[in-house]
Chains A and B, each alone.
Chain A
Amino acid sequence: MAKRDQGGQGCGEALPLGELERRLIDAFQRDLPLVPHPFAAVAESLDSSEEAVIGALSSLMDEGVVSRVGPVFAPHKAGASTLAAMAVPPERLDEVAELVNGYPEVNHNYEREHRFTLWFVVTAPSRERIDAILADIERRTGIGVLDLPLVAAYHIDLGFPVQWS
């Protein structure tokens, strides 16, 4: 998959996206119309066509800019989740990250600059299932897992304004 990731270190240049792609991202991070022909409805508001919208979204997904068009679930309401952290020694990071990725309940999984090097989110239908997964990871790696479930959310929207300049 072609990733738009060839830039220099921290150059942070804007991406060479087309006009339709930008407008789709600006206008439809929320409130995709829930109607039988949603992409036709989007196209109408952007003065485009259903085929062009579907094509633009498909290529944004192929390029990895858009991960999907669909729902973002609120934490807790549709199941249980937690943020987990592990102090994995650098030489074991690849191995442990791969082991953690093997659980379908793990969605985000990042290396971060800290003594706790590996940070991942576990989401499952029940808290019991999360407990079982964390215990399993501890058993298989021999490394303790910090379990940091949500206490309160103050800002829970990942759809953020994009500054294209």
Chain B
Amino acid sequence: MVLNDTDRDLIAAVQDGLPMVARPFAAIGDRVGLDEAEVIRRLDAMLRAGVIKRFGVVVRHHELGYRANAMVVWDIPDDRVEAVAGEIARCPCVTLCYQRPRRLPEWPYNLFCMVHGRDRGLVEAQVEQMAARLGLQDVPRAVLFSRRRFKQRGARYASAAE
């Protein structure tokens, strides 16, 4: 999907969330000079094209009681990374699974996944189980628990200044 300037204006207007009013798409439209039906049509098109992957209630997992969140990183041989990533992504405790570049020598890991749990021990146990089940006990890995959250909000793809 090719996004035009109007789409980008719409993304900028909606990326921080809908206003809590009865007709939020009309209110968003007022900000960007589109009518309500056009706002809905364009958002629907972005959803269908996969530019927007979901549209709904975005929760902060920490406040929901998922107090422990760890980024688990693995150094998977390149010829196995796709198959292993597919397996990891199927684990119910995993919310994200991304392949990223190694930056040797300081960063040897190429597969990243986010594991959420109610507490630290549970997250550690889930990672152990995952490694055992997938035969990854001998693969170098690191578990990076989060300590402080300095910022968390939706990604911004458009800014008024650009």
Contacts and interface: CB of A to CB of B under 8 A. Distances in A.
Contacts of A101: 150-151
B43 A83 contact: no
Given A65-B63, A70-B16, 15 more contacts: A15-B64, A29-B58, A34-B47, A38-B25, A67-B154, A70-B154, A77-B1, A81-B155, A97-B150, A113-B146, A123-B155, A124-B156, A150-B98, A153-B98, A158-B96
B52 A114 contact: no
Interface residues of A, number: 90
B116 to A, nearest CB: 7
* In the A-B complex, the 8 residue pairs with the closest CB atoms: A68-B17, A12-B118, A155-B89, A79-B157, A10-B119, A30-B54, A70-B17, A109-B151
A66 B145 CA distance: 22
A114 B62 CA distance: 20
Contacts of A150: 98-100
Interface in B137-153: 142, 144-153
Interface of B: 1, 3, 8, 11, 14-18, 20-26, 36, 40, 43-44, 46-47, 49-68, 71, 82, 85-86, 88-89, 92, 94-101, 103, 106-107, 110, 112-113, 116-122, 142, 144-159, 162
A53 to B, nearest CB: 9
Given A7-B67, A74-B51, A97-B150, A67 B60 contact: yes
Interface of A: 3-5, 7, 10-15, 24-25, 28-32, 34-40, 50, 54, 57-58, 60-61, 63-75, 77-79, 81, 83, 85, 87, 97-98, 100-101, 104-114, 116, 119-121, 123-125, 129, 146-162
Contacts of B53: 72-74, 156-157
A22 B148 CA distance: 26
A82 B65 CA distance: 27
Contacts of A123: 155-157
B67 A107 contact: no
Contacts of A152: 82, 85, 98-99
A35 B23 CA distance: 9
A74 to B, nearest CB: 4
B55 A70 contact: yes
A12 to B, nearest CB: 3
A101 B40 CA distance: 32
B126 to A, nearest CB: 13
Contacts of B36: 36
